[in-house]
Amino acid sequence: MKQNPRILATLTLSLFVLGIQHAQAEVEASTVVRYYDDGKTQVTSPAIEVGSSFNEDKMRLNVHVAQDVLTSASSEVKTYSSRGVIEDVRNELQLNYEAQIPDGTLSMGLITSDEKDYHSKIISAGGSREFFTKNTVVGFGLSSGQDQILATGNSSVNESMQHQIYSISLSQILSKISLIQLLYDFRVENGFIASPYRKAKVINGSTIIALNENHPRTRNRHAIGVKYNYYSNEWKMSFATSYRLYQDSWDVLSNTLEERVTREFGRKFELSGSLRYYTQKKAKFYQDYYNTDPGVFYSGNNTLATYDAISLGLRPAYQLNDKMNLSLKLEYYTQFFEDATDAGQLSTQADDKKLSISALVIGAGLTAKF
């Protein structure tokens, strides 16, 4: 597997820095490998994270390195790309520093992500403040990012996109076995918010042509969420229920409801199951096919369409010993689109069919403390 020398060097340095901390500092390392397959796109994602607390546990440093190795022969690729199959590698590096302050925390972070045609850098800061003998916690965060968008085989494409995220949360302990959390996120994007590869389908008389998609250059996103956690001593089970409402300036409206249940079996084994339902209404300018005059904005992005999605997950975890934990993950995901089709051959609508996507995600992880 192709590796990025800069990321490997950063990881090596981070391990060294963490390793020379005070002898009593605990270092925790975890690694996970995930595999995604929807029949047209396959992604293998290895990742490793190393973290350590120091200065009498008042400070913590985390380093996360990940890689996505992608192979895609989706309907979009087959229809619009002369290559037929796309292969790409994405390398990601995350650094996060957190410090304990009286009745709260402060944190800073950096994320870099690099592909051959997409480069992103994000800086972030955040914190939390405790009230009422730590029963109430207010959290806040902000981040700013800069993306550079290129196109393989087309040197004329050199675009940029800026984005900022502002978030606030409120957590309240209701009892010894229950907790509720309220969250709000606001994200603003400016610049090139499209893809240089995707095409909009336009009916031109008796033929169908493809146009490079054209999106608005500003997008404001709002999301409100609520989470409720409950633990049953009698059943040795925890319940995590969450709901999220999302709307943006493109008129995309979505609702997400998720339930996660975890059951303990003795001191070493636990099993988690999850069910997630997502429903979305399309962007105001999205159409599966556009007329000869498509208007100012047009898109080939089916994630802006109207659709429902359901995912089912299962995650067993086993405590090998006091220092090591092994976990597995199996998730099935499916999407049903209302107003998007798999075009088949671009020249005709005769072979079109309602678009649906099903994917299987398999993961394995190991966490160790030193």
Residue pLDDT tens, the chain, 370 long: 444 545 544 554 555 455 544 445 689 999 999 999 998 899 999 999 999 999 888 999 999 999 999 998 654 544 444 445 778 999 999 999 999 999 999 999 999 999 999 999 999 999 999 999 999 999 999 999 999 999 988 999 999 999 999 999 999 999 999 999 999 999 999 999 999 999 999 998 888 999 999 999 999 999 999 999 999 999 999 999 999 999 999 999 999 999 999 999 999 999 999 999 999 999 999 999 998 888 999 999 999 999 999 999 999 999 999 999 999 999 999 999 999 998 888 888 888 999 999 999 999 999 999 8
CA 303 – CA 198 distance, rounded (Å) = 12
CA 212 – CA 190 distance, rounded (Å) = 19
pLDDT at 72 (0 to 100): 82
SS3 6: helix
> What is the maximal distance between C-alpha atoms in the chain?
75
CATH of 5-369, one of 1.20.1260.10, 2.102.10.10, 2.40.160.40, 3.40.190.10: 2.40.160.40
Number of residues in the chain: 370
CA-to-CA separations, 105 to 100, 102, 128, in angstroms, rounded: 5, 8, 5
Mean pLDDT of the chain: 91
CA 216 – CA 188 distance, rounded (Å) = 12
Domain boundaries, the chain: 5-369
Q: Of all residues in the chain, what percent carry a pLDDT higher than 90?
A: 80
Among 80, 290, 297, residue whose Cα is nearest residue 204:
290
pLDDT at 76 (0 to 100): 52
